[in-house]
Every structure is written in structure tokens, then in C-alpha cells.
Structure 1
Amino acid sequence: MLADMYFHVPLTVSFPSGLKRTFESLNDTIDFLEHEWPLRRGERYQRACKKCRAALLKQTPVAVAREAFVAACLEAGFAVQALPPSWHRTGPSSRPRMRV
């Protein structure tokens, strides 16, 4: 299994049902795209799947995969909000994880 890669700036996605979900890494994002994505169609959805897989293989930058995921969310009508990195949210005593 490939090591997970984390977004420099995590995302919160709001769904029409009112539920929200935070995405901090490529593995979470790919799992969502492949197993929970409600539409599984659309040009931006296909591009997000491709770019996220390529980023895990270090064939494309993680930031490019993240932006492709944002575009797919917007194409599907989901609201997206960028969050500060987790070490900013949890306070000065927590140690940051390696982020890409």
C-alpha cells in the first residue's frame, strides 16, 4: 500500500443533505471518489480520480489533485471550504504531521 499524502490546506465539503465532511489526505479523497461519490460521472469527476491516483504515485503534485477534487465537488454542486492545517486548529502543543 502506498503511503498517504496530506493536503497542505484541508477541505470541508458540504453536501445538499446538510452533512459536512473534511478531507485532509489523498487516501480519504480517493476512497470517497471511488466508493461514496453520488454521481460517478462528469468530466471533472473523472479528472479528479485520475489526478488523485497519479499524485499517490508521485506522478503529479498533490496540490493539482486537490484542485481537481475541488473542481469535481463544484461540478456536483457541493460547497467547498478550505480549512487551516490541523496543527493550527489543535493548538501549539500538537506536533504537525508531514504535509505535502
Structure 2
Amino acid sequence: MLPEMYFATPISVTFTNGITRMFQGVHDALDFLAKEWPLRTGECYARACELCRAALQFRTSAAVAREAFVSACLEAGMPVQALPPLWHRSGPSTPPMMSV
């Protein structure tokens, strides 16, 4: 398995039932899209799936996949909030390796 391709800025998604979940990278987002997504329809959903797969194949960046995932969440009526990078919250002096 490939290492996670982290988002520069993780996101918090609030589901329609009020539960909030944090997404840190492309694998996390694609896994949710493929296995737990509430509405497997919509232009933004299809684009997010496509771009997350492309990012994992190094055909696009994690940032592009993140924006597509955010759009899909908004299309499905799930509010999104940007979070501080994990290394800012946990204290290490250097960030994890990230895809550009």
C-alpha cells in the first residue's frame, strides 16, 4: 500500500446526522467516497472519485483531489471546515511528507 498523500490543510466534514469527521489525505477521502458516501450520484461526486484516483496514480496533486472532495461534500449538503495542519496541532517540528 502506498503511503498516505496528505492534504496541506486537513478538512472536517459534518454529515447530515451531525457527526463530524476529519479527512487528512487522498486515501482517506477516496475510501469514504467509495465505501460510505451517502449519495453516489452527482457531477462533483464523480469528479472527486476520478481526481482522488488520479492523485494516487501521481497524475494530479493532492491539492486538486482535496478541492474536488470539498466540492462533492458541499454538493451533498455536508459542510466542510479547513483545519490546521496536523503538525501544528501535535507539536512536531517538521511536517510529514506531502504531495504537491
Are 1:36 and 2:36 matched, yes or no?
yes
Query: What's the Cα RMSD here?
Result: 1.2
The two structures have a TM-score, normalised by structure 1, of 0.93
1:96, distance to aligned residue in structure 2 (A): 2.9
Q: Which residue identity does 1:96 align to in structure 2?
A: P
Which residue pairs with 1:97 in the alignment?
96
Q: Which residue identity does 2:56 align to in structure 1?
A: L
Report % sequence identity.
60
1:4, distance to aligned residue in structure 2 (A): 1.9
Distance in 2, matches of 1:99 and 1:21, equals 21
Which residue pairs with 1:27 in the alignment?
27
Distance in 2, matches of 1:68 and 1:55, equals 11
Q: Which residue identity does 1:14 align to in structure 2?
A: T
How many residue pairs get aligned? The number is 99
Unmatched 5+ stretches in structure 1: none
Three-state SS of the structure 1 residue aligned to 2:53 is helix
The two structures have a TM-score, normalised by structure 2, of 0.93
Q: Which residue identity does 2:37 align to in structure 1?
A: W
Unmatched 5+ stretches in structure 2: none
1:22, distance to aligned residue in structure 2 (A): 0.2
